[in-house]
């Protein structure tokens, strides 16, 4: 594809883009999100005999202790999977909050549950939860080339998903392996959903040379769009969303970009959450 026709990399927010109103909303959003991630269950991995592993649910405080004390983790034969501090990769892309709100207003009536994939899918899951959708998040990690393993960041019964309409939130889907992990976990739990759709934050991934080299052998035909003038490799991540599991695919970038949701409703919801009303 001609470089001039490649999808542009998301524009970063500049100081002049922050209106006083938006500064206040983003400040409340950050505080509420911090509470949200601290309330999640953080799975760790226990190494058993003969290399077999199992998930153990832990709270944020216990997870932090293992992260801060590697000797303790080694002594207990445990491996922490998610550092809550790394989840705070907060929004720096222009228009993302507004398009997320527009997506929430349109999509929430169509679904029963949302599932955020940690780490980058969590903020979108959080936005939808603020706007009224019940969400249950999962962590998915690499387990070698072409392999993913996942665990819930909640203690609810997966049977609640039976016959329900599910919307999965993820940053992008370069290989589609993390997305496929969630339906597989539900199948293992013998849960049959009415429908599973996906909402990505970005349809097009703009990756550096190292990331491109790591993934290029697994890209589908036509998925690689070219290299931009800035040296980033541009990948269409819709191509790898598994049709076997996923009914519809959407992204904030391609389906809701440039649209503004109800920031005033979000502000009032955040005020109620922060002040416990």
**178: Cβ–Cβ under 8 A, 6 or more apart, which residues?**
117, 140, 148, 150, 170
Predicted local distance difference test score (pLDDT) of residue 4: 58
Q: Give yes or no for a cis peptide into 103 (omega within 30° of 0).
A: no
Pairing of strands 224-227, 233-236: antiparallel
- Examine the pLDDT at 123 and tell me if it is beyond 80: yes
**142: Cβ–Cβ under 8 A, 6 or more apart, which residues?**
148
**What structural domains does the chain harbor?**
87-274 (3.40.50.2020)
pLDDT tens, 126-162? 999 999 999 999 998 877 666 788 889 988 888 999 9
Predicted local distance difference test score (pLDDT) of residue 144: 67
pLDDT tens, 1-55? 555 578 888 877 776 767 777 778 888 888 888 888 888 999 988 877 666 778 8
The phi and psi torsions of 168 (rounded to 5 degrees) equal -95, 135
β-partners of residue 116 are 169
Higher-confidence position of 148 and 164: 164
Confidence band for 60, pLDDT divided at 50, 70 and 90: confident
User: What burial letters (b/e) apply to 156-187, b meaning 16+ CB within 10 Å?
Assistant: eeeeebeebebbbbbbbbbbbbbbbbbbebbe
């Amino acid at each position: 594809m001609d470089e001039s026709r490649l999808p542009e990399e998301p524009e970063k927010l500049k100081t002049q883009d922050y209106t006083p109103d938006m500064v206040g909303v983003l400040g409340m959003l950050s505080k509420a999100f911090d509470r949200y991630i601290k309330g999640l269950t953080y799975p760790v991995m226990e190494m058993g005999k003969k290399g077999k592993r199992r998930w153990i649910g832990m709270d944020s405080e216990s997870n932090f202790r293992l992260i801060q004390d590697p000797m303790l983790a080694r002594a207990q034969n445990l491996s922490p999977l998610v550092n809550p501090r790394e989840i705070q990769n907060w929004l720096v892309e222009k228009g993302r909050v507004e398009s997320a709100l527009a997506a929430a207003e349109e999509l929430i009536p169509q679904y029963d549950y949302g599932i955020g994939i940690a780490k980058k899918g969590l903020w979108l899951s959080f936005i939808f939860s603020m706007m009224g959708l019940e969400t249950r998040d999962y962590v998915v990690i690499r387990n070698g080339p072409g392999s993913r393993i996942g665990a819930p960041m909640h203690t609810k019964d997966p049977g609640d998903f039976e016959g329900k309409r599910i919307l999965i939130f993820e940053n992008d889907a370069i290989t589609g392996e993390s997305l496929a992990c969630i339906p597989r976990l539900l199948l293992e739990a013998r849960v049959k959903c009415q429908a599973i759709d996906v909402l990505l934050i970005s349809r097009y991934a703009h990756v550096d040379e190292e990331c491109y080299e790591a993934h290029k052998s697994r890209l589908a035909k036509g998925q690689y769009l070219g290299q931009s003038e800035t040296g980033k490799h541009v990948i269409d991540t819709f191509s790898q969303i598994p049709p076997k599991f996923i009914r519809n695919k959407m992204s904030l970038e391609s389906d809701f970009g440039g649209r503004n949701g109800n920031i005033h409703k979000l502000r009032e919801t955040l005020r109620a959450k922060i002040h416990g009303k």
